[in-house]
Structure 1
Amino acid sequence: MTTSEVLLPTTRRALLHRIATAQAEGRTPSLVAAVQRDGRIAWSGARSCVDGHEPDGDTQFRIGSLTKTFTAVLVMRLRDEGLLDLDDPLEKHLPGTDVGEVTVFQLLGHSGGLAAETPAPWWERTPGETRPALVDVLGEEPLIHPSGHVHHYSNPGYTLLGSLVERMRGASWSEILRREILEPLGMERTTPQPHAPHAGGWAVHPWADVMLPEPVEDLGLMAPAGQLWSTTTDLLRFAAFLAQGDARVLSVSSVEEMRVPAAPAETGDWASTYGLGLQCVRRGDRTLLGHSGSLPGFLATLWFSVEDDVAAVVLTNATSGPLVGTVAADLVQIVAEAEPRIPAPWRPLPDVDAELLALTGPWYWGTYAYGLKLLADRGLELRPLRGAGRTARFRACPDGTWTGLNGYYAGETLRVVRAADGTVDHLDLGSFAFTREPYGGSTSIPGGVDEGGWRGLMI
């Protein structure tokens, strides 16, 4: 993947200014960033404390918890192959963990109630051999919240998911990852161990401009939670996959499922929640998806906006410093707002079913006015004609009904109800009757309609 989408000079300068400010104010040895638009790298830039040694799109940095998204994809592949169900308890496939009642879904979304960290010592700065078995990762009291009740981020939870993948595939997590994700997506520079060129990790003193090298540890069983090294180029390939799907890895419907919030937001943080291996953030009117990561010596963030078709990656080699999540979000915003996405040309549907076309137009739920629109592939959209209301899109089903895809009616069934003579009497949507006239047709309205009909004010 090479830079092929040219941005305006003012946009490029704004992006460079943002990362230069982040590197200087964040006091980090180096920082590299890249932005993708329309599936192509549109811009990349870097800053370094050593002139002439700026990292580039091929320089590896450790990405920490961004690794979790890769592990989540491996689990979703098992689900898509029918080898497990997300609602399965862990015990069904990985027995003997003492947290077997926690479901796969809960582990993916960090709602299983597990502790955030392993027992001491600090797992990120100690060799994986320190925790040779899952009991060493989980400790004596692994559950600190009721399962399924709250979102509580858990690194040991993703160790369990990695072990689950290994048990069901009969191979190591790193080998499965290489075979099932990295090779199909062409991510040759994403590896469990660093391969030159790669950055070294540093701690920067909080009160003096001096540095200390950080140790690099193999995390052992904790690898599925934070082991990987990668580059901006590879991570933008991964972002394109997470936005669009890839039949060689996961379908678009499965990556869309990963992007749906799976647990309530933590108290006081209503702008941020978590899907299945993906963080979900609201920034103004924009939804950003991706993941952040940190390990001693490194910080990383990947954000992408499906609506804007823009993704950004920021990698740096300091234990603390630039708020790379904010920087990456700013890069997305700069491009999306300075050079908004140009919509595809409007084109008519390739064909139309006359019976479906006859269903379009105004419908009434009681006295609420809605419009029904025909979409591609026999889909439908229901939208209020004035004021606030429940908007929803529907997918056509083989049995002649439609299933809601979003909002209040997600998963609900829309069906056409016909009169004895075959004409359409009303639409039934989750037991609600939508009629062509307000309270039209007493047989379709629960409780009937007053025989006196509509009337004015009687004085």
Structure 2
Amino acid sequence: MTTPQEELLPGTRRALLHRIAVAQSEGRAPSLVASVVRGGQAVWTGARTSVEGHAPDEDVQYRIGSITKTFTAVLVLRLRDEGLLDLSDPLEKHLPGTGVGEATIVELLAHSGGLAAETPAPWWERTSGALRPGLADVLGERPLVHPVGRRFHYSNPGYALLGALVEKLRDGRWEDVLRREVLEPLGLHRTSVHPRTPHAGGWAVHPWADVMLPEPLEDLGLMAPAGQLWSTAGDLARFAAFLLKGDDQVLSAESVREMRTPAAAVEAADVASGYAYGLGLELRHQHGRALVGHTGSLPGFLACLTIDEADDVSAVVLANCTSGPAPFTVAADLVRIVAEAEPCIPAPWQPLREADPAPLELVGQWYWGTYAFALRLSADGLLALEPLSGNGRASRFRSQGDGTWVGLEGYYAGERLKPVRRPDGSVSHLDLGSFVFTRQPYEEGAPVPGGVDPEGWRGIG
């Protein structure tokens, strides 16, 4: 299993270096640093050109833009897990007087609250937050551009509201709460609201000439929860590991899994491109892989953190230019290089420690009408329902402890699977959300809705 950096194969390391070298050269980035994570730790870090006279390493800070939103979402999920709010609560319940209080917290997290994409002028990313001293200045006179809850529309002001919500319920500044509840417990000591040496300067590269112009480094004020943070390849590598597995000091594995689950209806164009949004995380498809993470940009900086859960590979890319290299494309390529060159070694198969006779009685082949399914019991104690044709509804089910099972994903997520027994105690059929599964297709004597023709199966005649 690949863990320490030196265990990546030389060919893999060279391919990674080549990819970021092409990105930096063709994208004309003053500097670019990248890191790859596997098994919960960085296994490779590479950089091109220099910051303050030396090649940037995993400890040089870059501005990470909207990756900040993922940190803000973690703070909101912590409030939910502590019972201080429900994600279905309207914002007005906890933060009254904004004028957009009918939007729910989950809608703000998922960018489906109908809010405008940006603040009123001037361009908030390139001007001082002092120009927007109150939430009314962040939202403007027309804060809603779509009906609440109807469509995905990325909104930076929405995350300013979530930051204000955190401050209200924690009775403290967003940045102090973030440091205390997330950065310190996860050991992200080089992630901060303001830059700390060594850090990269932000540059605009002329589109038609190889010359540069420094970008202003503004304090974003109330917009900070949407894009203020500075971080490093090393810290974001650790954050990627957290987003994959969770950490009970900060957020459980179940809650970070919820963050990685699509939560907003998307437009047809986004569906076609394989884009969706969870709770503070973007979900994309690239190279046939499901990737989750976030991109970020502010004038002078580009950033991306992306995770391939199936192959346990994550990548971070940071550059100090306003435009140029495409950070998501580069990060997705880094993931692909490692996953294809050094595929994950699967964990060894192991049997269950104890065999419970109740689920064993349920396994095997079942029919929903004439559709054939297999029900299997895995070593983790879950039942898995899979169509034998390869096409159809599949789900895993967890025991409820009362003889019933609840679906964990897909069409049957949250639905109850109940074995229905005959008077002698044997299993007659399975009831799954009112669907009847029988051992034989349209089994005689089974309570199939609409009944079974008493003459049974026949030819055309």
TM-score bin, normalised by smaller chain: over 0.9
Give the superposition deviation at 1:285: 2.2
Give the superposition deviation at 1:52: 5.6
CA distance in 1, matches of 2:170, 2:275: 33
The aligned residue for residue 353 of structure 1 is 356
8 Å CA contact 1:6–1:43 kept in 2: the answer is no
Q: Which amino acid aligns with 1:368?
A: Y
Instruction: Assess, with a 3 A threshold, how the Cα gap between structure 1 residues 5 and 80 changes in structure 2: closer, same or farther.
Output: farther
1:282 aligns with 2:279: no
1:134-161 CA distance string (max 9 Å, x none): 0000001100001111111000000000
8 Å CA contact 1:66–1:292 kept in 2: the answer is yes
Instruction: Assess, with a 3 A threshold, how the Cα gap between structure 1 residues 76 and 205 changes in structure 2: closer, same or farther.
Output: same
CA distance in 2, matches of 1:122, 1:184: 34
The aligned residue for residue 135 of structure 2 is 134
1:157-203 CA distance string (max 9 Å, x none): 00000000000000100010011100110000000011111111111
Q: How does 1:301-450 map to 2 (within 5 A)?
A: 301-450=304-453
1:248 aligns with 2:249: yes
1:273 aligns with 2:276: yes
Q: Which amino acid aligns with 1:140?
A: E
8 Å CA contact 1:382–1:392 kept in 2: the answer is yes
The aligned residue for residue 231 of structure 2 is 230
Give the superposition deviation at 1:273: 1.1
TM-score by length of 1: 0.97
TM-score by length of 2: 0.97
Give the superposition deviation at 1:354: 1.5
Q: Which amino acid aligns with 1:307?
A: A
CA distance in 2, matches of 1:204, 1:372: 58
The aligned residue for residue 18 of structure 1 is 19
Give the superposition deviation at 1:116: 0.5
Give the superposition deviation at 1:407: 1.2
Q: How does 1:154-303 map to 2 (within 5 A)?
A: 154-270=155-271, 271-303=274-306
8 Å CA contact 2:287–2:336 kept in 1: the answer is no
Instruction: Assess, with a 3 A threshold, how the Cα gap between structure 1 residues 50 and 177 changes in structure 2: closer, same or farther.
Output: closer
1:256-280 CA distance string (max 9 Å, x none): 1111111122331221111000000
Instruction: Assess, with a 3 A threshold, how the Cα gap between structure 1 residues 284 and 442 changes in structure 2: closer, same or farther.
Output: farther
Q: Gaps (5+ residues) in structure 2?
A: none
8 Å CA contact 1:266–1:273 kept in 2: the answer is no
Deviating beyond 6 angstroms after TM superposition, the runs of 4 or more aligned structure 1 residues are: none
1:105 aligns with 2:111: no
Aligned length, in residue pairs: 457
Q: How does 1:108-127 map to 2 (within 5 A)?
A: 108-127=109-128
Give the superposition deviation at 1:355: 2.3
CA distance in 2, matches of 1:32, 1:387: 42
CA distance in 2, matches of 1:118, 1:317: 24
Report SS of the residue matched to 1:287.
strand
Report SS of the residue matched to 2:372.
strand
Instruction: Assess, with a 3 A threshold, how the Cα gap between structure 1 residues 379 and 49 changes in structure 2: closer, same or farther.
Output: closer
8 Å CA contact 1:5–1:37 kept in 2: the answer is no
Q: Choose 366-375 or 131-140, whichever is displaced more.
A: 366-375
1:10-65 CA distance string (max 9 Å, x none): 11111101100111111111000010111121111000167962100000000000
Q: Choose 448-457 or 188-197, whichever is displaced more.
A: 448-457
The aligned residue for residue 32 of structure 1 is 33
Report SS of the residue matched to 2:167.
helix
Report SS of the residue matched to 2:430.
strand
CA distance in 2, matches of 1:390, 1:204: 50
Give the superposition deviation at 1:443: 4.2
Report SS of the residue matched to 1:359.
coil
Q: Which amino acid aligns with 1:388?
A: N
Q: Which amino acid aligns with 2:34?
A: A
Report SS of the residue matched to 1:442.
coil
CA distance in 2, matches of 1:102, 1:386: 43
Q: Which amino acid aligns with 2:191?
A: T
1:88-123 CA distance string (max 9 Å, x none): 000000000000000001000000010000001111
8 Å CA contact 1:203–1:319 kept in 2: the answer is yes
Q: Which amino acid aligns with 1:423?
A: S
The aligned residue for residue 149 of structure 2 is 148
CA distance in 1, matches of 2:12, 2:25: 20
1:339-386 CA distance string (max 9 Å, x none): 111101111111111221121111111111111101235320011112
Instruction: Assess, with a 3 A threshold, how the Cα gap between structure 1 residues 199 and 49 changes in structure 2: closer, same or farther.
Output: closer
8 Å CA contact 2:50–2:56 kept in 1: the answer is no
Q: Which amino acid aligns with 1:257?
A: E
Q: Gaps (5+ residues) in structure 1?
A: none
8 Å CA contact 2:428–2:446 kept in 1: the answer is no
CA distance in 1, matches of 2:236, 2:23: 20
CA distance in 2, matches of 1:433, 1:75: 40
1:71-91 CA distance string (max 9 Å, x none): 000000011111111110000
CA distance in 2, matches of 1:46, 1:186: 23
